[in-house]
Structures are given as structure tokens and as C-alpha cells.
Amino acid sequence: MTTLASPRATGAARPRTALRFAGLAAGNFMITLDATVLNVALPDLRADLHAPAAALPWAVDAYTVVLAGLMLASGSIADRWGPRRVYQVALAGFAVFSLACALAPNVGTLIAGRALLGVPAAGLVPASMALLAALCPTPDERSRKVGVLVAISGLGIAAGPVVGGALVAVGGWRTVFLLNLPIALLALVASRGLDARAGTPRPLDRLGLLLSVIGLVALTFGLIEAGTGGWLRPLPLAALLVAVAAVAVFPAAQRRAAAPVLPSALLALKRVRVDLVAAVSAQLIYYGLLFALAQWMITTRGDSAAEAGLAFLPMTVPVAFVPLLTGRLVVRFGAHRMMCAGLTLDLLGGLLLVVGGSSSWTILAVQLLVGAGSPMVIPAFIADMSAAVPLELAATGQGALNAARQTGTALGVAVFGTLATLPAHGCVLAVAAALTLAVVAPLARNRRRARPS
């Protein structure tokens, strides 16, 4: 006999669900805010710490390198020890390391603190998506919430420079890190009622974890170094060789592991493989173009940093609202059709950049197309990954997905950073979108959404 919940009980549950979702949203907002909030604080930081110019990029990028390198490992750990435990420990760690960054006496200590800050950040992302899967058990509700979550994360990216500038004006660069303390505390309180299921007991794949961390850290570091300083220098070449070696050994280590960090059952799912390809491509296109246009606006067109920031609004503002619409459209049309729609916009943007020249109207149109395209793809593959993966592997799946996203971002900066002209950027953008469309389109054609009986 099935007992139906009373309207009063259902109504009482809604505020609790909203509060728990707010705990997940706050953690994701904090992670993306920290990726961009420090950029505008660098001049004040340099003056206060007497830092050399060469050290400033790593005050920003140390966070990104560690975050990317630990994504796969943190997803596996969250599935093993339970996503709520990992999420809450990561929130506490984020607050502690943020305070350490705020108190840093010199730039070396700050860079080390930023690297350490990437450790809990890597734990927050896959654990939060696993908790969302438990909080929203139906695929349609989950798709809508993923759209909201991605929009809030996008708002963190867009708000970072604005919030950072205001905080520096009020209290200097150290306040940028102190802001994380109340956000982490609020997220910690709100997340107390989230799914507390125990993790799946299994042996720890130490070799697989070590290889995944070494490979992803070396790959991200090498790509960032190559994209910003040139491909033929010894440091990025050595890092990329280490990454290739780790990736080459990784499959053999996984075959021998009793409980591999990247289970073969996960990669055996075609939807998972397609989502990983879409993740790399969408991030490469969006963040690669963002980096390329920034360099072109400042060095070729002669814009100031403030003018370039305003000129980017057509590309950055849609990140805060397009995912909200996408989450609802995924429910109606399916995730793969929405990926195809977004990739088609990216493809049109690339083709326009190839043939349209460098007029202000062309740049505006390209920004609008890609600014709507990739933010349409991202929540679609996150929602599809969440639906395709069994709940006991939810964090591992999201860890692999976010490792792919971070790799795509670093690859975008590295590839687009070596191209000299806007048509060359457009050509790479169009080819990446077209190849990914070829991978996603068969699933969009063949997959039928289940209809209520």
C-alpha cells in the first residue's frame, strides 16, 4: 500500500529542499568567483607584497592547476567516503586556506596558499553534483536545477572582477579572500540536511589516484605555460611529456586495480564518452575565444582593460541566464538536442569570425553566438552525465566530467594563445564545433525521450 504525502508535509519539505540547494549553489558560486576575483586585485597585491611581475600569473593559475589536477581523484574519493562528508570537509578547508591566503606575508606564500585552495575546490564540485542527484531524484527536476546551478556558477565568473574591484577599493587585496569565509559558513550550515548516505566501500586505488593527479596537473600546467609563454620552452615541454607518460601508464594501472579510480563501467557508457567530448570542446571554444579576444582588444585594437571588460559583456552576461533556459529546454527536447543547438551557434560564430573581418559588429555578433552557444551546451552535458551514471558512481562521473572541462579550458588558452589572427581563431573554433557536432548528433537523432504512460 502506498502512502501519499499530505499537502502540508509536501509544503514543509519545499523550504528544506530550497535551503539545501542553496548550500550547493553557494559552494559552486564561491569556486567560480575565486577563479576570477583575484585578477583585478593583482596591481594592489604586487605593490603591497613587492612581488615580481613574473610571479603574478601564478598567483591566479596555481588555483586552476591544482583544481583541474584533483578533479578525477576527488570524485572517486567522494563516492568512497560519501559526498556530504567530502563536501562539508571541503567547505571548511576552503575557509581555512582562504584565511591563509589573506594573511600571506609574501607572494611565494600566497601562491602556495592558492594552490592549497584548489584542493578543497576540487572536492566541492563532484560532491555537490552527486548531492544534487540525490536531492532531485527525477531527471526533469534535476535538469532544471542543473541549469540554475550552472547559471549561479556563471554569475560567479561574471561577478568576480566587479566584486574584486569593489573589495580592493574598500579594504585592499586581502579582503578578496576574506569574502570566502562567510560564504563557506553559510554553505556549511545550509548543507547539513543534505543526503548523508555512506560511501561505497571499496579499496583505494592509490596508483590510479597518483597517476591521475600527476597527469592532470602536468597537462594543465604545461598547457597554461605553453599558451602564455610559448610552446618550445623546456618547462612546458617537460610538463607535457610527464602528462603523456602518466596517461600512457594509466590504462594498464586501471586494469590491475581492484577498484579503479575511473571504472571501466563508466567509460563503457556511450553517453558518458559523448559528454566528456562535449565538455572539452565547449570549454575550449568559450574560454579560448575569451582569451583570444581579450588579447586582440588590448594589443591590436588598443582598448584599455576597463574598455575590454565592458566590451566582453555580450559574451559574459549570457552565462548568467542562458543555463536557466537550457535546463528547462533539456526537459522538453533532451540533452543531446540542446548540445547540438549550442554547438551549431558556436559553429556559426567561428564561421563568421573567419569571413567577417574585425569590425565591431562582427565581434559583437560572434560574442552573442558563442556567448549563447557554449553556455547552452554546458548544463546539457552536466544533466546528461547525472542521468547516465549510477548514483553510486555519481561523484566519480562528475569528477571525470569536470576534469574534462578544466582540461578544455587550459587547452583553449594554449591553442588560441598561439594564433595570430582572428580568422585563424575562427577556423579552430568552427572545426572544434563541427567535430563535436559529429559526435553528439547521432545520439540526438536516435534518442527518444520517454513519455509518461
Query: Concatenated DSSP letters for 335-401?
Result: HHHHHHHHHHHHHHHHHHHHHSTT-HHHHHHHHHHHHHHHHHHHHHHHHHHHHHS-GGGHHHHHHHH
Distances (CA, A) of 194 to 17, 90, 138, 150, 197: 9, 15, 16, 19, 9
Q: Which of 219, 245, 260 is the last residue of a domain?
A: 260
pLDDT category, 318, cuts 50, 70, 90?
A: confident
pLDDT surpassing 50 at residue 383? yes
pLDDT surpassing 90 at residue 434? yes
Say if residue 66 is in the same domain as residue 149: yes
Structural domains counted in the chain: 3
Say if residue 41 is in the same domain as residue 135: yes
User: Between 271 and 193, where is the model more confident?
Assistant: 271
| DSSP track, 249-300 | HHHHHHHH-SS-SS-HHHHT-HHHHHHHHHHHHHHHHHHHHHHHHHHIIIII
The answer to whether residue 11 is domain-embedded is no
Residue count of the chain, please give it.
453
Please answer whether residues 408 and 392 qualify as being in contact, where contact means their C-beta atoms are separated by less than 8 angstroms. no
pLDDT category, 12, cuts 50, 70, 90?
A: very low
Q: What is the pTM of this model?
A: 0.76
Say if residue 333 is in the same domain as residue 367: yes
CATH code for position 180: 1.20.1250.20
Provide mean pLDDT across the span 240-259: 86
The answer to whether residue 23 is domain-embedded is yes
pLDDT category, 2, cuts 50, 70, 90?
A: very low
pLDDT surpassing 90 at residue 420? no
Q: Which of 143, 178, 196 is the last residue of a domain?
A: 196
Provide mean pLDDT across the span 78-97: 90
Say if residue 334 is in the same domain as residue 248: no
Distances (CA, A) of 17 to 23, 124, 148, 195, 280: 10, 19, 14, 11, 32
* pLDDT above 70 as % of the chain: 90
Distances (CA, A) of 372 to 300, 322, 331, 348, 429: 25, 6, 18, 11, 14
Query: For the chain, what is the mean pLDDT?
Result: 82
Q: Give the pLDDT confidence score for residue 42 in this predicted structure.
A: 77
Q: Report the C-alpha gap between 237 and 444 in whole angstroms.
A: 39
Say if residue 216 is in the same domain as residue 314: no
Q: Which of 179, 196, 213 is the last residue of a domain?
A: 196
The answer to whether residue 404 is domain-embedded is yes
Nearest to 180 by CA among 389, 337, 330, 30: 30
pLDDT surpassing 60 at residue 1? no
Q: Give the pLDDT confidence score for residue 15 in this predicted structure.
A: 64
Say if residue 236 is in the same domain as residue 370: no
The answer to whether residue 274 is domain-embedded is yes
User: Between 201 and 5, where is the model more confident?
Assistant: 201
Say if residue 140 is in the same domain as residue 191: yes
Provide mean pLDDT across the span 154-173: 78
Provide mean pLDDT across the span 259-284: 87
pLDDT surpassing 70 at residue 130? yes
Please answer whether residues 359 and 394 qualify as being in contact, where contact means their C-beta atoms are separated by less than 8 angstroms. no
Say if residue 179 is in the same domain as residue 84: yes
Cα angle, residue 217 at apex, residues 230 and 62 outer, rounded to 5°: 75
Say if residue 154 is in the same domain as residue 50: yes
Under DSSP, the state recorded for 447 is: -
Q: Report the C-alpha gap between 406 and 216 in whole angstroms.
A: 9
Provide mean pLDDT across the span 122-148: 82
Range of the domain at 330: 262-447
Please answer whether residues 315 and 287 qualify as being in contact, where contact means their C-beta atoms are separated by less than 8 angstroms. no
The answer to whether residue 24 is domain-embedded is yes
Say if residue 246 is in the same domain as residue 367: no
Nearest to 209 by CA among 244, 253, 265: 253
Q: Report the C-alpha gap between 295 and 289 in whole angstroms.
A: 10
Provide mean pLDDT across the span 386-412: 82
pLDDT category, 200, cuts 50, 70, 90?
A: low
pLDDT category, 399, cuts 50, 70, 90?
A: confident
The answer to whether residue 327 is domain-embedded is yes
Spatial neighbors of 252 by CB under 8 A, at least 6 apart, are none
Provide mean pLDDT across the span 169-176: 87
Mean pLDDT is highest, among 9-18, 203-212, 228-237, 266-275, for 266-275
The answer to whether residue 90 is domain-embedded is yes
Q: Give the pLDDT confidence score for residue 5 in this predicted structure.
A: 45
The answer to whether residue 1 is domain-embedded is no
Say if residue 235 is in the same domain as residue 272: no
Q: Give the pLDDT confidence score for residue 447 in this predicted structure.
A: 57
Q: Give the pLDDT confidence score for residue 309 in this predicted structure.
A: 63
Mean pLDDT is highest, among 97-106, 171-180, 393-402, for 97-106
Say if residue 222 is in the same domain as residue 338: no
pLDDT surpassing 50 at residue 385? yes
